[in-house]
């Protein structure tokens, strides 16, 4: 009787130890992303993209299996530090993948830096993350907010536009994207006559559209994304303003949103580091694989940024043969990697931000069709970064 019990106890203790060793063998990846709210679809696309690349590698990166941890950050900056520490302190992840919202991402970057946890930012453009807050373990597969805004200035000026009104949510991302546009538009001879904002994630646009109608600028430049972008593009179209005051934006305005925006989005011109119809073997293979893996869903820029985060990890882990505890070597390999992205090949700046082409795209049907390269190999100025 006792012996049987002992044997059972020993057996279960052994099983526990074995499963413990196996679990410890896996690399812990924490997704801090929005799974609810106006950016919910963006978070899902990032996770989908990441997992597609891992699946393509047979479920492993650098020969190691992955264990996932997830937090819904709700794009809420007030809860960001607490949410970051759920992954960093409670779950003790090796790498954090996230997030979408710039305000949330700044708190996340602070938590990652102070705990020396590797962070790969898969969307949020907050300039400071690869500027004054940069660090050896902080990387981005997306963009700095300055970049896509800056890319539109010369395009708008070349269309003959002189006076622009900007409109966006009042938080770091909107303000920094508008600042990027202002810099290059003014350099090309344009003037911003008014900056309009509303609090994130509000979508009551009517009074602002009335103000645009009374100002009568040559053009409007906008940043909204996700659910808010769907509503803004529909409201702008319904207002009838588009005929006399063309709408432009960073590509987030129309990325992942076209099935919902329908007719309202047709013909819109935007700038972004990804586009439909690139028609490269790399992008075609990625798009086919994504559609196959996710029930015919079409990939967007967010899916690409998630996919490339897994590619960055793969570069780092290959260099250390899966030994992620060799942090310095893992990170150096990431920083010097050339990523064969669906968007086109890119490298990271010293500050850890992609140096990449920005495309001019035009909405046609459900696609952001590539028209041109607006700016080649655009590097963020990385103000305040000493790396």
Complex with ligand PHB: residue 228 or 322, whichever CB lies closer: 228
User: SS3 of 41, please?
Assistant: helix
Exactly one of 98, 125, 180, 306 binds ligand PHB (CB under 6 A); which one?
A: 125
Complex with ligand PHB: residue 73 or 91, whichever CB lies closer: 73
d(CA 50, CA 124): 16
Exactly one of 44, 83, 102, 353 binds ligand PHB (CB under 6 A); which one?
A: 102
- Peptide bond before residue 157 is cis, with ω within 30 degrees of 0: no
The C-alpha angle 87, 301, 252, rounded to 5 degrees, equals 100
Provide the strand spans (E) within the chain: 27-33, 60-61, 64-72, 95-98, 118-121, 138-140, 163-169, 191-198, 219-223, 247-250, 269-272, 338-341, 344-348, 354-364, 367-378
Does 271 contact ligand PHB by CB under 6 A? Answer: no
Cβ neighbors of 377 (< 8 A, separation 6 or more) are 355, 356, 357
Does 101 contact ligand PHB by CB under 6 A? Answer: yes
User: SS3 of 212, please?
Assistant: helix
Does 48 contact ligand PHB by CB under 6 A? Answer: no
DSSP state of 79: G
120 in Cβ contact with 139 (< 8 Å): yes
Candidate ranges 100-108, 109-117, 207-215, 373-381; the one touching ligand PHB (CB under 6 A) = 100-108
Does 378 contact ligand PHB by CB under 6 A? Answer: no
The backbone torsions φ and ψ at residue 9, rounded to the nearest 5 degrees and listed phi first, read: -65, -45
Complex with ligand PHB: residue 330 or 346, whichever CB lies closer: 346
Instruction: Please report, for residues 44, 47, 194, 223, 276, the alpha-carbon distance to residue 34 in angstroms, rounded to integers and kept in the order given.
Output: 8, 10, 31, 18, 24
Complex with ligand PHB: residue 140 or 182, whichever CB lies closer: 140
d(CA 371, CA 278): 10
Does 151 contact ligand PHB by CB under 6 A? Answer: no
Residue 10 pairs with which residues in a beta bridge? Answer: none
d(CA 356, CA 382): 14
Exactly one of 44, 173, 261, 341 binds ligand PHB (CB under 6 A); which one?
A: 173
Candidate ranges 80-88, 109-117, 123-131, 278-286; the one touching ligand PHB (CB under 6 A) = 123-131
Complex with ligand PHB: residue 28 or 101, whichever CB lies closer: 101
Q: How far is the CB of 353 from ligand PHB (least distance, A)?
A: 13
Q: How far is the CB of 201 from ligand PHB (least distance, A)?
A: 10
Does 124 contact ligand PHB by CB under 6 A? Answer: yes
Binding to ligand PHB (CB under 6 A) within 128-147 occurs at 145
Q: How far is the CB of 336 from ligand PHB (least distance, A)?
A: 26
Exactly one of 71, 106, 225, 319 binds ligand PHB (CB under 6 A); which one?
A: 225
Instruction: Please report, for residues 3, 22, 383, the alpha-carbon distance to residue 60 in angstroms, rounded to integers and kept in the order given.
Output: 41, 14, 36
Does 231 contact ligand PHB by CB under 6 A? Answer: no
Complex with ligand PHB: residue 190 or 256, whichever CB lies closer: 256
Q: How far is the CB of 373 from ligand PHB (least distance, A)?
A: 20
Half-sphere CA count of 134, side-chain side, radius 13 A: 22
Q: How far is the CB of 10 from ligand PHB (least distance, A)?
A: 53
Does 252 contact ligand PHB by CB under 6 A? Answer: yes
Complex with ligand PHB: residue 66 or 120, whichever CB lies closer: 120
User: SS3 of 17, please?
Assistant: helix
Residue ranges binding ligand PHB (CB under 6 A): 39, 100-102, 123-126, 145, 173, 225, 252
């Amino acid at each position: 009787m006792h012996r049987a019990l002992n044997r059972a106890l020993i057996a279960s203790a052994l099983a526990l130890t074995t499963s413990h060793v196996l679990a410890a063998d896996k690399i812990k990846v924490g997704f801090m992303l929005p799974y609810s709210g106006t950016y919910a679809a963006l978070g899902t696309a990032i996770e989908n993209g990441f997992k597609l690349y891992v699946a393509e590698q047979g479920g492993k990166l650098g020969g190691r299996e992955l264990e996932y941890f997830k937090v819904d950050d709700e794009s809420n900056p007030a809860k960001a530090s607490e949410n970051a520490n759920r992954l960093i302190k409670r779950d003790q992840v090796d790498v954090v993948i996230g997030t979408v919202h710039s305000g949330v991402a700044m708190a996340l970057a602070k938590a990652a830096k102070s705990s020396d946890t590797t962070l790969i930012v898969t969307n949020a453009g907050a300039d400071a993350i690869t500027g004054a807050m940069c660090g050896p373990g902080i990387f981005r597969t997306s963009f700095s907010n300055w970049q896509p805004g800056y890319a539109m200035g010369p395009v708008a000026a070349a269309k003959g536009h002189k006076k622009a009104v900007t409109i966006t949510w009042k938080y770091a991302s909107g303000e920094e994207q508008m600042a990027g546009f202002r810099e290059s538009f003014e350099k090309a001879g344009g003037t911003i006559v008014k900056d309009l904002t509303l609090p994130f994630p509000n979508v009551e646009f009517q009074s602002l559209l009335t103000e645009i109608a009374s100002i009568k600028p040559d053009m409007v430049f906008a940043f909204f994304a996700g659910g808010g972008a769907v509503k803004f593009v529909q409201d702008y179209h319904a207002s009838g303003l588009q005929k006399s005051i063309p709408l432009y934006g960073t590509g987030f305005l129309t990325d992942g949103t076209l099935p919902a925006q329908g007719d309202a989005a047709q013909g819109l011109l935007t700038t972004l580091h990804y586009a439909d119809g690139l028609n490269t073997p790399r992008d075609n293979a990625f798009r086919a694989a994504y559609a196959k893996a996710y029930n015919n869903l079409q990939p967007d820029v967010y899916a690409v940024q998630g996919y490339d985060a897994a590619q960055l990890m793969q570069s780092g882990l290959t260099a250390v043969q899966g030994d992620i505890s060799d942090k310095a070597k893992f990170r150096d390999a990431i920083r010097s990697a050339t990523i064969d992205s669906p968007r086109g090949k890119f490298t990271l700046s010293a500050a850890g931000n992609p140096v990449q082409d920005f495309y001019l795209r035009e909405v046609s049907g459900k696609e952001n069709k590539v028209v041109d390269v607006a700016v080649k190999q655009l590097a963020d100025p990385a103000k305040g970064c000493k790396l």
